[in-house]
Amino acid sequence: MKRFFLLLVVAAIAGSATGWGINYTRYGHRTAHFGEIGYQGEITAENYQDHLDKLVQVKNPQVELPEGAEYDFGAMAPNDTGEHTFIVKNVGEGDLTLRLGATTCKCTLGSLKTDRLKPGEQTEVLLEWNVKTDSSTFGQSAQVLTNDPNHYAIDFRVNGRVVREMEMVPEEFTFGEVAAKENIELTSKIYSYLLPRIEDPELRFTSDALNELAEVTIEPFEPSEADGANAKAVQAFDISIKIKPGLRQGPLSQNAILSFRHRGEGETLDQGLADAGDGETGEKGMKKAFTAAIVGKVVGSISMIPNPRLTVTDAGNYVYDFGVVKQEDQRKAKTFVVLKGANREHEKLSVQSVVPEDVVRAKFGDPIQRATMTLYPLEIELQPGAERTKRLARDRDDYGKVRIVSDAPDGDKLTIGLTFSLEPI
């Protein structure tokens, strides 16, 4: 059996050697039928590696942005158009290719005839935009794709503020709550972007009472870097308003109107500003106006500090809600009464009366002086009787009451409403 396998191996080797010899004799010593392998008559087996090196870039480009990739245009008016040119430079050793990617604005590559930059070359990327937004800020971007392995995409961006022809900081005159016997002092800055410069500014109000009681000062100044986003305004004005006591108590919502003259082209109105109303024109130009709100609340010299149980109604009245009173620790309420006014240090508050007298008791603690007010701690206590007592605010007489007065000759008064359901002893 072993002899048989040995003979089989010898026969296989002999057959393979015979086949190779026949093939070599017939074909191995001859030149290929189509000649030696070549490409375009220049590339052979000996020089193909040099040709491959030329096709594959082995030296990398490197992007440099001498002026950065972001531009702040400062302030622009709605619907204005702008443009900015960014610089792209190749500081690498290989060729730099550029192509436009995603964009939110009109973006064009520079005036190169090719999108390829040799080492040391540079080009421009121009971004153009139109300020179409209702927001106070605006931004656009464009992306340029490159073959720099460390900077595949360049994100160029422009941004800035959207300003109207006139801006006010703050945007409205606000004074919060002010006692009826106190002066109201307001300040603001108005910036104008109008050209030519405006003339003869004058501030008035839509309320006759405000016009009678207010003293207005308008001081022009030149905008500077200290004005932040409005540093590029053409003009600026400091507005100071002092309103003497005399306004009716309650919410105040009126307009302040800055009228002025503007010598526009053809003496016509500019968009965004209103005619001052009289339609008057002359050598100094059309009379126009800028409007801003003035809001706040005039209150009595006596008020309170609200808390979860103490609320103030739209009419300015205060109501303290005890809820359902079953336990002794629920019968007492502590709050603060506020006294304002120039003469508060010479006034004193006291509890004049309570309703119902057999149920409600109230007393003040020692007053606490603050910079602009005096705080009076007030303690209100309910005294239960043999029967349940209710004050549920079903009508104007269905309240418990605490009446507070000032000892000043012309001092204010304050009535605190109480609601409760007091269980009997």
Residue among 127, 96, 92 at smallest CA distance from 110: 127
- Residue 271: the pLDDT is 36
Indicate the pTM of the whole model.
0.57
3-state secondary structure of 391: strand
235-243/400-406 β-pairing: unpaired
Whether residue 377 is preceded by a cis peptide bond, meaning omega within 30 degrees of 0, is: no
- Residue 363: the pLDDT is 96
Share of the chain above pLDDT 70, in %: 80
Quote the radius of gyration of the chain (alpha carbons, Å): 44
**Per-residue pLDDT tens over the stretch 189-219:** 999 988 889 999 999 999 999 999 999 999 9
- Residue 186: the pLDDT is 97
d(CA 217, CA 203): 9
Residue among 141, 156, 259 at smallest CA distance from 201: 259
Class for the domain spanning 63-162: mainly beta
Contacts of 210-218 with CB under 8 Å at 24 or more apart are: 210/243, 210/247, 210/254, 210/294, 212/246, 213/243, 213/244, 213/245, 213/246, 213/247, 214/241, 214/242, 214/243, 214/244, 215/241, 215/242, 215/243, 215/244, 216/240, 216/241, 217/241
3-state secondary structure of 5: helix
**DSSP sequence for 205-228:** ES-HHHHHHEEEEEEEE---GGGG
Residue among 249, 243, 284 at smallest CA distance from 267: 284
d(CA 414, CA 395): 19
Tokens of 3: 């002899």
DSSP character at residue 53? H
- Residue whose structure tokens are 């490197």: 62
- Total residue length of the chain: 425
d(CA 419, CA 401): 9
Residue among 56, 54, 52, 32 at smallest CA distance from 44: 52
- Residue 299: the pLDDT is 84
Count of beta carbons in the 10 Å neighbourhood of residue 374: 18
d(CA 313, CA 292): 28
Phi-psi region of 225 (alpha: psi -120 to 50; beta: other; left: phi over 0): alpha
CA-based torsion, 357, 315, 307, 364: positive or negative: negative
Query: Tell me: domain 166-299, CATH 3.40.50, correct?
Result: no
Query: Tell me: domain 302-422, CATH 2.40.50.500, correct?
Result: no
Phi-psi region of 120 (alpha: psi -120 to 50; beta: other; left: phi over 0): left
d(CA 70, CA 124): 14
* Mean pLDDT for the stretch of residues 384-399: 93
Tokens of 194: 């109008």
**Per-residue pLDDT tens over the stretch 102-127:** 777 665 554 445 688 999 999 888 88
d(CA 270, CA 241): 27
**Per-residue pLDDT tens over the stretch 39-55:** 555 666 677 666 666 66
Instruction: Give me the residue spans of the domains in the chain.
Output: 63-162, 166-299, 302-422
Higher-confidence residue of 102 and 22: namely 102
Q: How confident is the model at residue 308 (pLDDT cuts 50, 70, 90)?
A: very high
Mean pLDDT is highest, among 23-37, 209-223, 272-286, 294-308, for 209-223
Q: Do the domains 63-162 and 302-422 sit in the same CATH topology, yes or no?
A: yes
Decide if pLDDT at 368 tops 70. Answer: yes
